[in-house]
Structure 1
Amino acid sequence: MRFLRRALFLIFLLALLPLLAIELFGDPIARRVVAALNERVQTRITVQEYDLSLLRAFPQLAVDLQGVQVEGSDGSALLEADHLACVLDLSSLLGTVRVTSIRLSDGKLQLFTDRDGNTNYQITHTSIGDQAAAGKAEGGAAGALFSLEAAQLDRITLVYQDARLQTDALLTIDEGILSGDFGSSQYTLEVDGTVGVGYFDQDGTRYLDGKALGLSGQLTVDHVTNSYRLTPLRIASRALEVEATGVLTLTDAGVTTNLRLSSTAGELEDVLSLLPPTYAATLGGLETDGRLSLQADITGAWTDRTYPRLTGTLDFRDGKLSSPRMNATAREVDLQATFDYVEGPGGGVQTIAVERLTGSFRGAPFDLRFRLEDLYDPVIAFSANGSLPLDVLPAFLPTATVTGADGLLHFTDLSLTGRYADMIEPRRAARLGSGGTLRADDIVFTLNEQTISLPSGTLELNDNEVAVTALQVVLDGTDVLLDGRGSNLIPVLFADSLNSRDAALRFEATLEGKSLDVAELLAVAGFGDSEITVDRTPTSTPEPTAQIRAQLTDLLHGTFEARVADWQWDAYRGATFRGQFVFLPGRLDVRGLTTAMGGEIGLDAITYFDQTIAVDARLTARGVDAREFFRQSADFGQEVLTSDHLTGTMNAKLLLDLHYDDAGELEYEDLGVLASIEILDGELRDFDLLENFAFALKSGDLERVRFTRLANVFEIRDRTVYIPAMFIQSSAINLTLSGTHTLDQYLDYYVKVNAGQVVTNKLSRHDNSLEVLPARNGLFNVYYTIRGPLESYGVESDKQSVKTNFRRSDYRRDRIRKALADRFRTPIALFDLQGEQDDVAD
């Protein structure tokens, strides 16, 4: 029993001694670790808190440094971490502090290299190997020796920027373990971890966007030669596994590479997923099944002026290719791609070639070839034969704007060769070689919610020339046939989003057909609903599309000679349109003549496509039905004189200044109209405004009022209709009227009535023939103002206000007439007001 008590006491003492040692010497030990770290670097290391624990790393000691900040050699923040845990040998309690491993958690590490090769992480006095040797020989600075065998990184964000190599990367190390003899000038690390790639930008191109890479294997570090040998290092992305072997050597100019890559497992879709987003955006969701083989060598210097050489092969055999975004599977897919560095008279050039890509969709075979030579001045050669079902097209487009595709696109001897610099430069497009034929076969697809059919038609390429023959375009309300020739198609297809090189498809074409729906074509182009409506409630603004429209119209430069049997644009209808559609960069001119509304309408309009869409139009109407004109024009947004009130034959000249928002809705705040309107042999029926003059009319006159000619000019500006003084001679009453009328239906009219004629008219019998009253000076006149909202306006007698308004309106009438005469190059004739303008008795 005594022996047992002594044994228990001894065990207790042995357990208590380390705890007592930690209590007595823990703080000095932790301070010695911090001091040792500071002495080993040229910059400053700060630690907010630190403590020593036996339990966290038993049977070893752990120093937990909290709030660690390390300053870079350029003064920047090199490292910020919540925790830096150092694991110490237990013997550190009795002598020299020995740090055997470290663990860095929840931090940010920033590594920068400027254009001269200077880095912000040159913070040690000597190399790691030399410092370790000094530590072993002398016991280390401040009595602490770093003899690291392992380093663990948890939740560390790494920012890497190298101005020389134009590289910018954001990486996240969730769990990474490095183990080896860090104390030597040359040592081998066992690497095991997962790296999340936020982005990796190289020379303006983004790679590995949002990818997760698994790393495992061996890495030999040589601090004397600044080299890293992979022996091997395994890299995994999804199911793809690649072994990398070889050497990377850091130099003053950059990195010298000598690597070999070989795949051990994976699918083609895994390789495609590693492409830059710019190229891989159209391949999202692509699924493959087949035998993949990848072998590649990367050799040479990577500097700000040179890239390493890439040689090798990528083979995919007996494969299938499918996607949730397409309704067909490519079968029997064989792909052979090669990477090579070809020596030539002017030096070596890098080449990438798809030597063969064959397969079939629903039994229809295809055969594609592609070669790119020289990354610095690319020369491209492309050829294709076969057929492509259109229902696979959505899988290769960056957005889902095209849906419901069907039909076949046949391509025969399609080819394109030349320098990429010539493909994007319109002035050098003649140097390109192209050829082949594309043929539509019952193609149907939906674009911007509009179903488009291309039953037939061909497109032929001949170098820089393109010819379209009998291309039939069918929508719900459109059926036209296109024929024409053009040039510069290739620069247009390769134009950047800003069209910075002013590429434009130059063409001369004809457009003939049974029907044309303008609103449909605008919707296809993304213009939205262009119907004329008056919206009195604010609405949310849709996503801007004006920039896209400007880009599309900037790419067209040519003329369509058009002849269409029937056309429509929302409520407007017409027949036998003959004219031209002239496309200029950022602009569309429409000139033509059409039968519409029972008469003839001539149109000369210019549409400008910029940040906003604007239309400057001249419209001439001859002999049209006034009621139909008002009905199809939605009564111009007002509710006083509508198509329900008016009949007659109308002649008109209108200048229209129209502006549209991004949804294609007319901006009434910016609407401008100058017009001259003449209505012959017309009637006003059930015109409520005449009820205000019932004192001068017999009951039968209120229902139908006939006039032989009603003519005046008017202006719409600032959401207001301006009507200069006009003489209205009718079967019921003769009067002179002027005023304004807002599109919010607020009236401000001024009226002079021939009172002497009123008395005569009131005493006479109702004229069933509705003969127009003669125009004569009255013995006296009466004056009225009509003001207020349409639902509750008031009528008052006010001679002075009426006469003042008439005089002011003379200026507006003359200005409108002059503007119309200048634009239409013809005099504007109005009704003579002289007979009714002066008073005989006031």
Structure 2
Amino acid sequence: MKKALKIIGIIVLLLIIALFLTPVLFQGSIEKMVKKAANDNVNAQVEWSSLDLSLFRNFPNASLSLEKLRLINEAPFKGDTLVYAKEFNLTMGVMQLFKDKGLSIDQIYLNEAFINVKIDSLGNANYDIAKAPETSKSSGETKKPFQLNLDHYEINSSKINYLDESGTIFLKLKDFNHSGDGDFKSSVFTLHTQTDSKISFDYDGTNYLKDNSIVLDADLEMDLENMKFSFLDNEAIINQLPLKFEGYVQLFEDYNDIDIQFSTPSSDFKNFLALIPETYAANLDGVTTTGDFKLNGVIKGKVDDTYIPTLDISASSSNASFQYPELPKKVEDISIDVEIKNETGLVEDTYINFNGVKFRIDQDRFAGSGTINNLTTNMLVDFKVDGVLNLANISKAYPLDIEQKLNGILNADLAANFDMNSVEREAYQNVNAKGSMKLSKFDYASPELAKPLHIDVATVNFTSNTAKLNTFEMTSGSTDLKMTGNLTNLLGFAFSDQPLKGNFKATSTNFDVADFMVEADTSSETSDTQTASGSSTEAIKIPEFLDISLNFDAKSVKYDNLVLKNATGSLVLKEENAILKGINADIFGGNINLDGMVSTAGSPNFDMKLSLNTIKILEAFEQMELVKGLAPIAQALNGIASTEISLKGNLTKDLMPIYTSLTGNALAKVINAEVQKDKMLLLSQLNTEFNFFDFDNLKVKDLTAKLNFDNGAINADNFDFNFDDIRVDVSGKHTFSNELNYKLKFNVPAKYFGDEVGGKLAQLSNTDLSKMSVDVPVTLSGNFKNPKVQVNTQNAIQSLTTQIIQTQKEKATNTIKDKVGDQINSILGGNKAKDSTQTDSTQTKEESVKDKVKDIFGNFTKKKKNN
């Protein structure tokens, strides 16, 4: 006995060792076999990161696990991922591992997968990757390298996308869990399934379901031989709506046959609330309802390239009500009668009837009805709404998940009928519309607005081709606004995604732009896109759906620290462009005129022509960033100026100029100004370099300067101006970062040299200096905050020396002429005079004059410093 037990123990031990060693010994050959099976079965690229073989995980069966499995399409979807799975598990009998003619798989597990199903506009399907089975030449039998003899399968925590471009259908399942049990070895069997998921569904660009919850427990009779699948005992829950359904789907080679009926198992009105997405309907626990709600439907017929199943779906309710336990108001007198029908099987013959939808909250009643025909061709719409709503009561009766409270009174009495082709072609003569809408005492607050918006009253009258805004009175913060005008294609905007077109006239006594702007933190800009003020806000976009023209008249407009008075002009918003025309306003004690454009289509940019007329220079400098960049020296001028600027360039995302991108020109004229040297270090330094004038006593008058902008620099064309009788010639440039590169030339009359210097020069040259002047070149570099002033005395010395020598030569010539004349007269008179015309060397005298001027001029330019 002991020997037998020992033998049994040895056998068990050997079996356990074999179970451990088999995956190690055979894993390589098994992986090759799996790759061959995959290549033999599909026209796609199959990849995985690792293969794991275990004989213990699902003992007594073997478990084959593929990690990070990818199934990648070939043409015409080359490179697209059809399937990705974090883990793909196959369970099979142990002996399957040693077969050389394919695998028979019993169970499949797919975990954390993404399945991306796509049908292109030509009808090609990316899941059509199966290869035709090979036929043996010797036996004539079809080889089956891969057999699914399943009894169980699971898909866990996965996502499935289904896109049909030919039918513009998009179905998305997320958090998808599904399992099935059945005998797939049999041709007829019952499949027991369980499914739960979040479902979203779009058709032809319209969203019908968005993350709606669905739970389905279904038993299906699977007739694989006839490809007929019948629903036996089935119940589904969509959101919180229970549905029972029965029928079948049968697949044929050229078409599919469908016959499905569904209905709600009870007629409680709570079933209607369950149709509303859970995000908006909240929890229905504790909700009290009265009345009924019935949902019934039949979907029946064949499906092929021409036909869809016929439809007969209805939803109805009468004299119903509901109230949420935590809310004070009840919605009562609810009546619903809606039908979706198709009687021919042609998709264009599908229509929807809203025979009546009514409800009441307190004393406010609202009703609507309508029809929609020709859904897929030239859609025909006919509707009518009538009633009054106190918007504050909506959130008191229904749990809306909104950030701000609704209030205000909405009155509506509107009817319209039209076809979509006419709307899209703007053939509004084919549109019939009449009625009105009125909104009063409406408040709106949002994180996107700096201040709450209050609409005191807004009334709109509708006709066939326009929606006329008769009254619009609004306030926000310190801003008031009144507006009238017309919207010429409200239906095109509402139903066919056309731009909203209109013409309006607006008036305001005070309009503060800050009441409508909210700052938002964003990542830092690079140096090339940083504005002068260093501001950084959320990107501002001009809405692309607007095609609006607005004429305005505002007594006061405030933007940042700018205040414009008596502002008039027009603003056109179109194709993400803001076009400004004839803008005129009082500012800086003068007047501004502006024409131009700002565009946010693509990279933001602008193109402006601006005139500032007889403005106060200091006010403009203190309040306008552009003036600070263009003319920093303006901070030292107290007076009146005018300027004309033509400028274009790129903008940051908060619509501030990128200075390095600016191009254009300006013509600036200082009409009359006093110089305040203490306001700018550059002027103070110039003042210390010379003693022939004092900025404290200087005035600028009729100074005209031409500027042009290029690559972030402001270039000054050669211009000149006078400080009293001192002329200054200017050329050079500076940058918006205040770097300087200027050349100045002061033409200084000799009288400014003072009595001491003037007397010495007069003695040296024996010359009247009253008409003599000298050019003093000055180079400015560094920046406005730390300027470097360099006076070129050598050129000044050379200039003054040349003038003195020239004057002396002219005098010497005249003296010689006089003496020669005297000698001739003496000879003619008989007198013999002694020749006394002797002169010093001209070169020696020039050097002497130059040395004297150099000493005197050098002392002159340093005099003020020494004093």
Is TM (by shorter chain) over 0.5? yes
Give me the whole-angstrom Cα distance separating, in 2, the residues matched to 1:682 and 1:173: 74
Aligned to 2:449: 449
Aligned to 1:102: 107
| 1:461-489 deviation digits (Å, cap 9, x = unpaired) | 11221211131132334323212234222
- Could you tell me how far 1:14 is from its partner in structure 2? 14
> Is 1:565 equivalent to 2:555 in the alignment?
yes
Aligned to 1:359: 359
Whether the aligned pair in 2 keeps the contact of 1:189 and 1:218 (CA below 8 Å) is yes
Aligned to 2:812: none
> Is 1:708 equivalent to 2:701 in the alignment?
yes
- CA gap 1:309/1:195 in 2 versus in 1, 3 angstroms: same
Give me the whole-angstrom Cα distance separating, in 1, the residues matched to 2:61 and 2:332: 60
Give the one of 85, 88, 94 matched to 2:91.
85
Aligned to 2:185: 183
Give me the whole-angstrom Cα distance separating, in 2, the residues matched to 1:148 and 1:762: 119
Aligned to 2:383: 382
- Could you tell me how far 1:321 is from its partner in structure 2? 8.0
Q: Residue 376 of structure 2: SS of its match in structure 1?
A: coil
Q: How does 1:196-215 map to 2 (within 5 A)?
A: 210=211, 213-215=214-216
- Could you tell me how far 1:791 is from its partner in structure 2? 3.2
Give me the whole-angstrom Cα distance separating, in 2, the residues matched to 1:621 and 1:105: 72
- Could you tell me how far 1:599 is from its partner in structure 2? 2.8
> Is 1:679 equivalent to 2:683 in the alignment?
no
Q: How does 1:799-818 map to 2 (within 5 A)?
A: none
The amino acid of 1:102's aligned partner reads Q
- Could you tell me how far 1:367 is from its partner in structure 2? 2.3
Whether the aligned pair in 1 keeps the contact of 2:531 and 2:656 (CA below 8 Å) is no
Whether the aligned pair in 1 keeps the contact of 2:571 and 2:578 (CA below 8 Å) is no
TM-score (norm 1): 0.71
Whether the aligned pair in 1 keeps the contact of 2:776 and 2:795 (CA below 8 Å) is no
- CA gap 1:732/1:310 in 2 versus in 1, 3 angstroms: farther
Give me the whole-angstrom Cα distance separating, in 1, the residues matched to 2:631 and 2:53: 87
- CA gap 1:788/1:373 in 2 versus in 1, 3 angstroms: same
Aligned to 1:43: 41
Aligned to 1:825: none
Q: How does 1:92-131 map to 2 (within 5 A)?
A: 102-106=107-111, 115=123, 120=128
- Could you tell me how far 1:257 is from its partner in structure 2? 1.8
- CA gap 1:313/1:569 in 2 versus in 1, 3 angstroms: same
- Could you tell me how far 1:245 is from its partner in structure 2? 1.0
Give me the whole-angstrom Cα distance separating, in 2, the residues matched to 1:617 and 1:639: 15
Aligned to 1:759: 752
Give me the whole-angstrom Cα distance separating, in 2, the residues matched to 1:658 and 1:164: 45
> Is 1:579 equivalent to 2:577 in the alignment?
no
The amino acid of 1:444's aligned partner reads D
Give me the whole-angstrom Cα distance separating, in 2, the residues matched to 1:323 and 1:703: 81
Q: How does 1:308-707 map to 2 (within 5 A)?
A: 308-315=309-316, 318-320=320-322, 331-332=331-332, 334=334, 336-341=336-341, 349-360=349-360, 363-377=363-377, 378-389=379-390, 404=404, 406-423=406-423, 425-446=424-445, 448-450=448-450, 451-496=452-497, 503=499, 505-507=501-503, 509-517=504-512, 535=531, 544-546=539-541, 549=542, 551-553=544-546, 555-556=547-548, 558=549, 560=551, 562-583=552-573, 585=575, 586-634=577-625, 636-638=627-629, 641=632, 644-657=635-648, 659-687=650-678, 688=680, 689-691=682-684, 692-694=686-688, 696-697=690-691, 701-707=694-700
- CA gap 1:403/1:717 in 2 versus in 1, 3 angstroms: farther
Aligned to 1:815: none
Give the one of 781, 786, 790 matched to 2:780.
786
- CA gap 1:681/1:249 in 2 versus in 1, 3 angstroms: same
- Could you tell me how far 1:796 is from its partner in structure 2? 1.7
TM-score (norm 2): 0.69
Give me the whole-angstrom Cα distance separating, in 2, the residues matched to 1:606 and 1:578: 16
Give me the whole-angstrom Cα distance separating, in 1, the residues matched to 2:540 and 2:737: 29
Give the one of 271, 276, 281 matched to 1:272.
276
Whether the aligned pair in 2 keeps the contact of 1:321 and 1:329 (CA below 8 Å) is yes
| 1:739-765 deviation digits (Å, cap 9, x = unpaired) | 21211111122222233256267889x
- Could you tell me how far 1:514 is from its partner in structure 2? 1.4
Give me the whole-angstrom Cα distance separating, in 2, the residues matched to 1:608 and 1:145: 63
- Could you tell me how far 1:637 is from its partner in structure 2? 2.6
Whether the aligned pair in 1 keeps the contact of 2:449 and 2:517 (CA below 8 Å) is no
| 1:439-462 deviation digits (Å, cap 9, x = unpaired) | 131222235323322212311111
Q: Residue 780 of structure 1: SS of its match in structure 2?
A: strand
Give me the whole-angstrom Cα distance separating, in 1, the residues matched to 2:250 and 2:282: 37
- CA gap 1:202/1:65 in 2 versus in 1, 3 angstroms: farther
Whether the aligned pair in 1 keeps the contact of 2:372 and 2:381 (CA below 8 Å) is yes
Aligned to 1:747: 740
Give me the whole-angstrom Cα distance separating, in 1, the residues matched to 2:405 and 2:738: 47
| 1:689-746 deviation digits (Å, cap 9, x = unpaired) | 33323354479x3434223332222233332222233333235954233321211111
- Could you tell me how far 1:6 is from its partner in structure 2? 11
- CA gap 1:623/1:212 in 2 versus in 1, 3 angstroms: closer
Aligned to 2:235: 234
- Could you tell me how far 1:667 is from its partner in structure 2? 1.9
In structure 1, runs of 5+ residues without a counterpart are 127-133, 275-282, 528-532, 765-775, 803-841
Whether the aligned pair in 2 keeps the contact of 1:674 and 1:715 (CA below 8 Å) is yes
Whether the aligned pair in 2 keeps the contact of 1:43 and 1:72 (CA below 8 Å) is no
Whether the aligned pair in 2 keeps the contact of 1:334 and 1:357 (CA below 8 Å) is yes
The amino acid of 1:260's aligned partner reads Q
Whether the aligned pair in 2 keeps the contact of 1:82 and 1:107 (CA below 8 Å) is no
| 1:591-648 deviation digits (Å, cap 9, x = unpaired) | 1433333233333334445224444333334333333233332472349745652222
| 1:167-209 deviation digits (Å, cap 9, x = unpaired) | 6666679764433443332222222344565x66666667765
Aligned to 1:805: none
- Could you tell me how far 1:246 is from its partner in structure 2? 0.7
The amino acid of 2:615's aligned partner reads V
Q: Residue 271 of structure 1: SS of its match in structure 2?
A: coil
| 1:74-94 deviation digits (Å, cap 9, x = unpaired) | 9998998743213699xx99x
- CA gap 1:735/1:26 in 2 versus in 1, 3 angstroms: closer
In structure 2, runs of 5+ residues without a counterpart are 135-140, 523-528, 758-769, 797-856, 858-867
| 1:265-292 deviation digits (Å, cap 9, x = unpaired) | 7754543339xxxxxxxx7576664565
Give me the whole-angstrom Cα distance separating, in 1, the residues matched to 2:725 and 2:324: 78
| Identity within the alignment, % | 15
Q: Residue 662 of structure 1: SS of its match in structure 2?
A: coil
Whether the aligned pair in 2 keeps the contact of 1:328 and 1:362 (CA below 8 Å) is no
Whether the aligned pair in 2 keeps the contact of 1:705 and 1:730 (CA below 8 Å) is yes
